[in-house]
Amino acid sequence: GALRTVPRALSAAAASAGELDDSLSPNTGGADTEIAVSGAAYVADCRSRGNEAFSKREYGQATAWYTHGLREAPEDAVLLSNRAAARLALGQLRDAAADSADAVALQPRYLRGALRAAVCHLRIGEYDAAREYCLQALDTQPSSAHAHALLEEVRTADKRSAEVALLAHAAAMADETDGHGHGHALSAARAAAWEDVL
């Protein structure tokens, strides 16, 4: 494969002992501070560093490492899924959903990718998409307890969302029918009571 030059600090030996360097660039430093590594070794090093940062809850660092690896291997479903997990932890839901969708598109039977995509869409409130990814995960591994539990969580959230929307619609209708403001107070009380139940 092609060789890349990366800072010596990113060599496999340094990966286990060094701190993460967010300024990874294949062309930094002088010739004496760089080593040549194959594309596969570079990607593995980035994945390892990303995983290390993720385990330390350094999600921004993890995202950066996975992104660097994806520059060399843009179709690496595991890197995409790992970056989705880091972005999910950072609250970057749309970016996480896009990464996990890309991972699943590359490897349709990738269980973890499908589950991450489902979680992203669940948190965004896109229950149909979340349900589809859960079903895709179950197609891959029908016995997955995690997929079954997540599908049930999606169904519950979707039902709850529909109930709240129905209550909001009923409250709006009540407001329109009472010109004296009584419907508003009543509908607000009903909505508050239902939120307590949900």
Pure H helices in 6-76: 12-15, 39-55, 59-72
Residues 6+ apart with CB under 8 A from 31: none
Asked if pLDDT for residue 1 goes beyond 70, the answer is no
pTM of the predicted protein model: 0.65
In this structure, of 4-13, 174-183, 187-196, the range with the lowest mean pLDDT score is: 4-13
Asked if pLDDT for residue 153 goes beyond 80, the answer is yes
In one-letter notation, the amino acid at residue 152 is E
Burial class (CB in 10 A: 0-12, 13-18, 19+), 128: exposed
Asked if pLDDT for residue 136 goes beyond 80, the answer is yes
Pure H helices in 56-144: 59-72, 77-89, 93-106, 111-124, 127-140
Asked if pLDDT for residue 75 goes beyond 70, the answer is yes
User: How many Cβ atoms sit within 10 Å of the Cβ of residue 171?
Assistant: 19
124-144 average pLDDT score: 95
Asked if pLDDT for residue 145 goes beyond 90, the answer is yes
